């Protein structure tokens, strides 16, 4: 009798073959172990016995980048609703009582390219923790009364953000930098979308992205990987695969490059101190992972007290703070220069900022010693970040969502390999002479005195 491959068997076989291939190519730090279950769920176990605790985290490839305007902020609201009710714990009171019984420390976060949830408990509660996570991630209940309570909480975060001058500046920069796709870069969401969210819309999010083949389960702490893998498969093994790759089925639209630079001055009565922000569209992990590493090193150089930018702006009292940063993203990470000018020298500060940007790629803009110091700082920062075991899961899952586990494993060594040529290439490709969005936020009275718009503008 001829043997027929049924669809579920084909799917299982493909997942198995993928797991074998991926595992053969995967590089992990010492004490890290990876396995892919037949349903596509990737499981990462980090053995770390510094303290008798274990953290169970699930990360989902979801977040702002998956949201068009009609769903803006719902990934964030979904994260809040995660800690409400589910099949095993039918209301939040019972849910919270269970966290107390477990002695759990718990939270969730929503960012541009990841949503994650974690519970940290005593090591003897590993199985109970896994079962608790399983109920919450797979069998949520969206009750209208719970949503009525939670919508104002999420919207309150938005309102607090709106009341902060620095956040207002950031939001306006995002609108100009990303245009029609701005909702895919701002996780906080839109007022009206959050306030009119329904249980049905929550299920849309779940049915698009909350599948094992779009998730990473990380078990970190005082555990043995063999035991952790076995328990994970017992509890999560029957979680049904979606049968499709959510990111392929619901593709992320390409972010349109800036055509020209955009400048604006925004007046705000509560802006006691003026702020300036300059933003460029930087590298994407998918197309230029090398520049994502060079970007971090150059930002660290610029932040050194002895850097030319700090000496020119902070040491000469033109600004109280000047910081350059790059946000690592799979899909176009922003490069942001944030400056707090001296209120009495705003024009002079702006002129010097523009002068500094113009010289970023000069061969003598930083010394060999500063490059060496920046690499040492990156290494120390990594060591410090890994000091607390419960943080390791989040670090790994961020990279799983926005880069890769290999990128995470190699990052420390790759920082040490960054050359002057790598940094120059990054600056010339993404900053020097490239379109940017530049914004200033300032009190109306101060703007009336200095007329910021007369000098804060693109060069003619």
255 within a domain of the structure (yes/no): no
Considering the domain architecture, whether residues 165 and 269 belong to the same structural domain is answered as: no
Q: Tell whether 223 and 372 lie within a shared domain.
A: no
Based on the fold, state whether residues 203 and 288 are members of the same structural domain: no
Lowest mean pLDDT, pick from 70-84, 287-301, 336-350, 417-431: 70-84
The confidence score (pLDDT) of residue 24 equals 53
Q: Which of 75, 92, 74 is nearest to 83 (CA)?
A: 92
447 and 302 in a single domain? The answer is yes
Instruction: Report if residue 337 sits inside a domain.
Output: yes
Is there a contact between 228 and 49 (Cβ–Cβ < 8 Å)?
no
Same-domain check for residues 306 and 202: no
H or E segment at 169?
A: helix 165-178
Q: Which helix or strand (DSSP H or E) is residue 369 part of?
A: helix 368-385
DSSP classification of residue 39: T
125 with 169, same domain: the answer is yes
* 180 and 271 fall within a common domain: no
Is residue 207 one of the residues assigned to a domain? yes
Q: What residue numbers bound the domain in which 406 lies?
A: 262-454
Last residue of a domain, one of 227, 249, 271: 249
Residue 148 burial by Cβ neighbours in a 10 Å radius (0-12, 13-18, 19+):
exposed
Do 245 and 274 sit in the same domain of this protein? no
pLDDT for 146? 84
Please give the share of the chain, as a percent, with pLDDT higher than 70. Answer: 94
- Tokens, residue 249: 């089925």
**Three-class SS state of 185:** coil
* pLDDT, position 443: 96
Length of the chain as a residue count: 460
What's the pLDDT at 149? 82
Q: What is the DSSP string of 246-257?
A: HHHHSPPPPPPP
Query: Across the beta sheet with 334-341, what order do the strands follow?
Result: 262-267, 437-442, 275-281, 334-341, 319-326
Query: Do 328 and 365 lie in a common domain?
Result: yes
- Provide the mean pLDDT of the chain: 92
Last-in-domain residue among 214, 249, 284: 249
* Pairing label, strands 437-442, 275-281: antiparallel
Dihedral sign of CA atoms 65, 69, 73, 75 in order: negative
Report how many domains make up the chain.
2
CATH of the domain at 142: 3.30.830.10
Model confidence pLDDT, tens digit, residues 40-65: 999 999 999 999 999 999 999 999 99
d(CA 334, CA 30): 32
pLDDT for position 12: 41
CB 185 within 8 Å of CB 178: yes
The residue among 249, 277, 309 that closes a domain is 249
CA distance 376 to 437: 32
Closest by CA to 281, choosing from 62, 434, 67, is 434
- 8 pLDDT band, cuts 50/70/90, is very low
Are residues 333 and 286 located together in one domain of the fold?
yes
- pLDDT for residue 13: 42
The mean-pLDDT minimum among 147-151, 287-291, 292-296, 385-389 falls in: 147-151
């Amino acid at each position: 009798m001829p043997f027929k491959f049924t669809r579920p068997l084909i799917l299982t076989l493909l997942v198995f073959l993928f797991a074998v291939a991926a595992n053969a190519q995967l590089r992990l730090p010492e004490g890290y172990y990876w396995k892919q279950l037949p349903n596509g769920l990737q499981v990462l176990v980090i053995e770390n016995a510094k303290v008798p605790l274990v953290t169970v985290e699930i990360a989902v490839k979801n977040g702002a980048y998956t949201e068009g305007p009609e769903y803006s902020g719902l990934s964030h609201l979904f994260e809040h609703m995660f800690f409400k009710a589910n099949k095993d714990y039918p209301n939040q009171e019972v849910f919270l009582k269970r966290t107390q019984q477990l002695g759990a420390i718990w939270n969730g976060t929503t960012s541009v390219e990841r949503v994650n949830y974690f519970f940290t408990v005593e090591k003897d509660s590993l199985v109970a923790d896994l079962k608790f996570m399983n109920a919450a991630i797979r069998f949520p209940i969206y009750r209208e009364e719970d949503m009525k309570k939670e919508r104002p909480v999420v919207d309150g975060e938005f309102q607090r953000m709106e009341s902060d001058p620095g956040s207002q500046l950031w939001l306006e920069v995002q609108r100009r930098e990303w245009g029609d796709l701005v909702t895919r870069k701002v996780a906080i969401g839109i007022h009206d979308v959050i306030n009119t969210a329904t249980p049905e819309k929550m299920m849309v999010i779940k049915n698009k992205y909350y599948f094992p083949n779009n998730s990473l389960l990380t078990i970190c702490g005082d555990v043995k990987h063999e035991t952790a893998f076995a328990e994970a498969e017992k509890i999560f093994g029957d979680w049904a695969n979606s049968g499709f790759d959510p990111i392929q089925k619901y593709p992320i639209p390409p972010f349109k490059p800036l055509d020209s630079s955009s400048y604006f001055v925004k007046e705000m009565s509560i802006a006691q101190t003026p702020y300036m922000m300059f933003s460029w569209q930087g590298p994407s992990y998918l197309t230029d992972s090398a520049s994502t590493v060079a970007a971090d090193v150059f930002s660290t150089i610029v932040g050194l007290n002895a850097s030319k930018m700090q000496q020119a702006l902070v040491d000469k009292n033109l600004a109280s703070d000047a910081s350059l940063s790059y946000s690592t993203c799979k899909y176009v990470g922003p490069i942001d220069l944030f400056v707090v000018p001296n209120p009495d020298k705003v024009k002079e500060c702006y002129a010097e900022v523009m002068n500094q940007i113009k010289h970023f790629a000069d061969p003598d803009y930083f010394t060999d010693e500063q490059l060496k110091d920046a690499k040492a700082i990156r290494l120390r920062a990594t060591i410090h970040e890994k000091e607390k075991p419960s943080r390791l899961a989040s670090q790994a899952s961020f990279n799983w969502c926005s880069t890769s586990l290999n990128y995470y494993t190699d990052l420390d060594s790759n920082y040490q390999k960054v050359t002057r040529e790598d940094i120059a290439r990054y600056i010339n490709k993404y900053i020097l002479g490239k379109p940017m969005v530049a914004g200033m936020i300032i009190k109306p009275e101060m703007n009336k005195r200095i007329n910021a718009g007369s000098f804060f503008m693109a060069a003619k």
